[in-house]
Amino acid sequence: MHQLENLYRQIIMDHYKNPRHKGLTDDKNYFTHHIKNPSCGDDITIQTRIENQTIKDVRHDGSGCSICCSSASVLASLMIGKDIDHAEKLTLNYLSMIMNRPFDEDLDLDDAMAYQGVKQFPARIKCATIAWKAFENTIKEWSESHE
Amino acid sequence: MDAHKLKLDFPILQNQPLIYLDTAASSLTPQCVIDTMNEYYTEYPVNVHRGVYQISYKATEKYTQARQTIADFINATFEETVFTRGASSALNLIATSYGLSHVQKDDEIIVSELEHHSHILPWQQVAKKTGAKLIYVPLNKEGRITVENFKRVLTDRTKVVALTYISNVMGYETPLQEIIPLAHQKGAIVSVDAAQAAPHKTIDVKKLNCDFLAFSGHKMFGPTGIGVLYGKQKLLDSIEPIEYGGDMNDNVELFDAVWKDTPYKFETGTPPIAEAIGLAEAVRYLQKLKPEAILAHEQKLKELAVKALLKLDGVTVYNPTSETGIINFNLDDVHPHDAVSFFDEDHIAMRAGHHCAQLIIKWLKVPATLRASFYAYNTEEDVKTFTDAVKKARDFFTSVGF
């Protein structure tokens, strides 16, 4: 069996084909972070609205491979409604999981667990992390403005 | 040419499964080039042009002979053959030195959407800094530069024509032999990016009559970190270096200095000595195989592959008529970065993305593409493995829901 079957899990394909929370807004209350990988063309924008320490909404748009685009949809679905400190923990945990570093398996990453297989494909780590890094930058920006 | 036997010359192709289809990015290195560079590092690993002791003399001699070998390879003189870090720095040198001192406001620089970023961005900068205009040759339906379309953009204001010899994405050859005299009639100079030509074409700069030409070592069996700038002697004599320092000067005073003659005035610092000697060995290896024979072999493999790909549904080939070993294609509705992971699993190495040529990818109106490129060491079995993998990949991605 091709190893790739471990990568293209149903959850991932579902988010790729039917992305949730897709499309950007002009609303100035959203933080906007954009990351581009010029070598492969992946290009993702993540918009986040944070109120009272809570992630109220996450939007995304861009172009890229299935792993890249679906992970933005999964990210948005997971983060909406989360407390910002918890959202930060989830983000760092996800990034550790993808990069094959120790991570807390008890922290509920929900659909994002489907990306565990990515670590077997080091060349694809960038694809699976672009959206999450953009979100991580959002949290950093928010934290700096609330110090 | 016996590609099966040739494979034995490449250590990377021994002891591991590898179908290498990314020569357009970098070719593999034969043992003789590795040995030649090892010989430098083990037997005379010292600087050139400075020491008067024996091994320094040997290093200088080998380095000097290397330049002559490479000059002969393109039918240039020793003085016209400048070593650079690669084709990119050679092309930058032309634009920065010649371009900024000769191009003025409202002059026209003809380029094309087939150019690699290293041949478009330097001239884009010259245009921005001088107020000159970048003019794009309209590509024909296939994405080729034609003489007719070139004539349509050539004017009395054209000062520079900067075109690729062979496109690194589409594999098309530009009709330079006809374009260059037309440019000269208007008084324009012609800069040629030959990075994809040098690996499998006999380049004769005198016959071509180009003004500048650049290529890289690592795409033609040679090492990374070295490239060549060819320039006509009178042009190289008339332009200024863009880097200053040791070895490039003749006399240094408090407030002025005098440069050496070309090629040395463009080569400050300790040169890539092992790389130059390695590149000369790569040239000898290439000449032994005969560039024309390599090209014919590549083309045969490419045509076999294209024929097989065109029979498959759900596969689009963007350059079926190209005259070199490059295939630019996509699996329909599958992002190339998804596809390339499948090929990697089958030990097939090829490129996915923009290939450092975003303009042609935009011209094709796709987000990115897959590129397979064949070279001397590829075999018909490689083609079969590749085309079978394309079919399997297409079936796989369909099965998981693409």
Domain of residue B324, residue span:
290-399
Q: What is the CATH number of the domain that holds B394?
A: 3.90.1150.10
Whether residue B360 is found in the same domain as residue B214: no
Instruction: For residues A40-56, give the mean pLDDT.
Output: 92
- The answer to whether residue B343 sits within a structural domain is yes
- Is the CB of residue A40 less than 8 Å away from at least one CB of chain B? yes
| Mutation to test the B interface, candidates A66, A69, A126, most B Cβ within 10 Å | A66
Whether residue B272 is found in the same domain as residue B310: no
Whether residue B167 is found in the same domain as residue B262: yes
Residues 6+ apart with CB under 8 A from A108: none
- The answer to whether residue B120 sits within a structural domain is yes
For residue range A57-100, list pLDDT tens digits in order.
Answer: 999 999 999 999 999 999 999 999 999 999 999 999 999 999 99
Per the annotation, the verdict on B32 as an active-site residue is no
Whether residue B232 is found in the same domain as residue B340: no
Question: Are B306 and B317 within 8 A, CB to CB?
Answer: yes
Q: Which helix (H) or strand (E) holds B231?
A: strand B227-231
Whether residue B283 is found in the same domain as residue B303: no
Instruction: For residues A7-11, give the mean pLDDT.
Output: 89
Whether residue B147 is found in the same domain as residue B92: yes
Q: What are phi and psi of B54, to 5 degrees?
A: -60, -50
Neighboring chain B residues of A2 at a CB cutoff of 8 Å: 342, 345, 396
Neighboring chain B residues of A3 at a CB cutoff of 8 Å: 345
Instruction: For residues A10-18, give the mean pLDDT.
Output: 94
Structure confidence at residue A5 (pLDDT): 83
Whether residue B210 is found in the same domain as residue B302: no
Average pLDDT, chain B: 97
* Interchain pair A127, B402: CB under 8 A: no
- The answer to whether residue B13 sits within a structural domain is no
- State how far Cα B77 lies from the chain centre: 20
Interaxial angle between packed helices B336-345 and A66-79, expressed in degrees from 0 to 180 and rounded to the nearest 10: 110
- The single-letter DSSP state of residue A102 is -
Q: What is the CATH number of the domain that holds B247?
A: 3.40.640.10
Domains in chain B: how many in total? Answer: 2
Structure confidence at residue A146 (pLDDT): 84
What secondary structure does DSSP assign to B58-85, as a single string? HHHHHHHHHHHHHHHHTT--GGGEEEES
For residue range A111-126, list pLDDT tens digits in order.
Answer: 999 999 998 888 899 9
- The answer to whether residue B25 sits within a structural domain is no
- Among residues B288, B309, B334, which one ends one of the domains? B288
Structure confidence at residue B192 (pLDDT): 98
Q: Which helix (H) or strand (E) holds B362?
A: helix B358-363
Whether residue B274 is found in the same domain as residue B308: no
Whether residue B189 is found in the same domain as residue B273: yes
Structure confidence at residue B162 (pLDDT): 98
* Interchain pair A40, B337: CB under 8 A: yes
Structure confidence at residue B52 (pLDDT): 80
Q: For chain B, which residues score pLDDT lower than 50?
A: none
For residue range B319-344, list pLDDT tens digits in order.
Answer: 999 999 999 999 999 999 999 999 99
Q: What is the CATH number of the domain that holds A123?
A: 3.90.1010.10
Confidence class for position A2, pLDDT limits 50, 70, 90: confident
Domain of residue A137, residue span:
3-145
Q: Is the pLDDT of residue A1 over 60?
A: no
Whether residue B41 is found in the same domain as residue B127: yes
Q: Is the pLDDT of residue A41 over 80?
A: no
Structure confidence at residue A6 (pLDDT): 81
Residues 6+ apart with CB under 8 A from B40: B59, B62, B273, B274, B277, B278
Domains in chain A: how many in total? Answer: 1
